[in-house]
Structure 1
């Protein structure tokens, strides 16, 4: 079952989304050579606590305990990297995923941040991944199907010029999800159109989805490390991960985890966002 939210519930999710936005902003500003991923985790934890929210990452997930309030995935780590003593170095590439709960309602978002000066193809990888996220968000319209989001993400990536070495691999098996009274809910939102898969449910007012493309400079295939969390590319190519949580309202989409509700980015795509219920 897909959970449908009331306007009042979406307002609470907006509050949670803004906490996530603040935590990611603080982490982005702190990323630098010599900083540990554990220090970034502490920064995000303080922001979450200071806003009276709680973490939805540092919790039991189906029998597996995740110890951080962020996932810190560096270089060839795609998602679910455990924060700790790893020291970031010049030229590294880190994806930071964060979530928060306010009054029982969840927010979830991710960014990719270069550490100092990085290779141009990595900056382009991040731009392509972020751009595909916005293309997916642009497909969050009443009457569209779930698969329209997947098609929006994939078609954007496929249109981009290939990097000098390698290709863009859309990570298989991982994707976005419904979000609301829990962090991970139905439906699963693939970042590509899978042959033979039904187009999925129609998008209706009150649906809230986390759109999160993950793209590598090579393979779409991954494996999980012995820590049972960290996901790495099979060929060792580096990856980028971007995510926003989005609500579909009567007035259109609202990006819950963007400070401006997604107004600037979606305006570039000819889309007007819904009014901010907390404005």
Structure 2
């Protein structure tokens, strides 16, 4: 069942989304060569506590994970792309770091992710990050009432094809609102004009993620961290959006870098 949100409820999700954006901006500020992932985790814990927010990840135990998850942010490095379990790892020059976070404030959830490069960037890493960002922009551009879920999926897939990246369909976007994961599922690959019709009031987390040379994934022994099956590097971009009759509202938009 899909719950359509009122304008007031969407505004409440926007409040949450702005905090999520602030957290991801802060992660980008502090993630540097020599910084331990656990230090980032604890810094984000402090931010959540000070804001009076609630982590959607803490104690999360879905069927695909080795639960419960006991962290407040997913931190995935290099060939890891989703659900990275923060652990005792010190960031190195050239590492690709994906940070993904979902929190609730006053009962309303927002979810967002970004991939950044620590230290010296490699062109091929910049390229795959750019591909996910362009795919997200393309998805947002077609996320409006009257279009269909397949239009979003096709828009993401088209950008992946343009860049030559394969697309995994096991994990993708999703509805959210009062909880982190709600219907519908939004695949990162699909055909335009197919699937559920989008309605004003739907709120979705759109999240294209690509690995450089494979669409297959493997899980770490921790039961959470998902990596590309061939060890190729990855990237992931995600925003929470609200569907309207016109352009989608991006509820987790970050301020442009200075």
Tell me which interval the TM-score lies in, with the shorter structure as reference length: over 0.9
* Whole-angstrom distance in 1 between the partners of 2:149 and 2:169: 17
* Whole-angstrom distance in 2 between the partners of 1:181 and 1:244: 16
Q: Give secondary structure in 1 for the equivalent of 2:84.
A: coil
Aligned to 2:55: 55
Does the aligned pair in 2 maintain the 1:205–1:250 contact within 8 Å? Answer: yes
Does the aligned pair in 1 maintain the 2:144–2:245 contact within 8 Å? Answer: no
Aligned to 2:178: 181
Asked if 1:119 corresponds to 2:122, the answer is yes
* Whole-angstrom distance in 2 between the partners of 1:250 and 1:148: 15
Once the two structures are TM-superposed, the CA of residue 157 in structure 1 deviates from its matched residue by 2.0
Once the two structures are TM-superposed, the CA of residue 250 in structure 1 deviates from its matched residue by 4.5
Asked if 1:230 corresponds to 2:225, the answer is yes
* Whole-angstrom distance in 1 between the partners of 2:160 and 2:193: 22
Does the aligned pair in 2 maintain the 1:30–1:40 contact within 8 Å? Answer: yes
Q: Give secondary structure in 1 for the equivalent of 2:9.
A: helix
Aligned to 2:234: 239
Query: CA offsets per residue over residues 117-161 of structure 1, 9 Å max, x none?
Result: 02111011101111101111111111100110000111122123x
* Whole-angstrom distance in 1 between the partners of 2:40 and 2:150: 35
Does the aligned pair in 2 maintain the 1:177–1:185 contact within 8 Å? Answer: yes
Aligned to 2:4: 4
Does the aligned pair in 2 maintain the 1:20–1:48 contact within 8 Å? Answer: no
* Whole-angstrom distance in 2 between the partners of 1:42 and 1:249: 37
* Whole-angstrom distance in 2 between the partners of 1:249 and 1:143: 10
Q: Give secondary structure in 2 for the equivalent of 1:15.
A: helix
Q: CA RMSD in A?
A: 1.7
* Whole-angstrom distance in 2 between the partners of 1:173 and 1:198: 21
Give the 5 Å matches for 1:7-22: 7-22=7-22
Gapped runs of 5+ residues in structure 1? 161-166, 265-279
Once the two structures are TM-superposed, the CA of residue 227 in structure 1 deviates from its matched residue by 1.2
* Whole-angstrom distance in 2 between the partners of 1:192 and 1:9: 30
* Whole-angstrom distance in 1 between the partners of 2:174 and 2:210: 17
Once the two structures are TM-superposed, the CA of residue 176 in structure 1 deviates from its matched residue by 0.5
TM-score normalized by the length of structure 2: 0.93
TM-score normalized by the length of structure 1: 0.87
Q: Give secondary structure in 2 for the equivalent of 1:58.
A: coil
Does the aligned pair in 1 maintain the 2:144–2:246 contact within 8 Å? Answer: no
Once the two structures are TM-superposed, the CA of residue 6 in structure 1 deviates from its matched residue by 1.0
Aligned to 2:212: 217
Aligned to 2:247: 252
Does the aligned pair in 2 maintain the 1:215–1:239 contact within 8 Å? Answer: yes
Aligned to 1:106: 109
Over 6 Å off, 4+ runs = none
Aligned to 1:138: 141
Count of residues paired in the alignment: 253
Does the aligned pair in 2 maintain the 1:41–1:68 contact within 8 Å? Answer: yes
Give the 5 Å matches for 1:23-42: 23-42=23-42
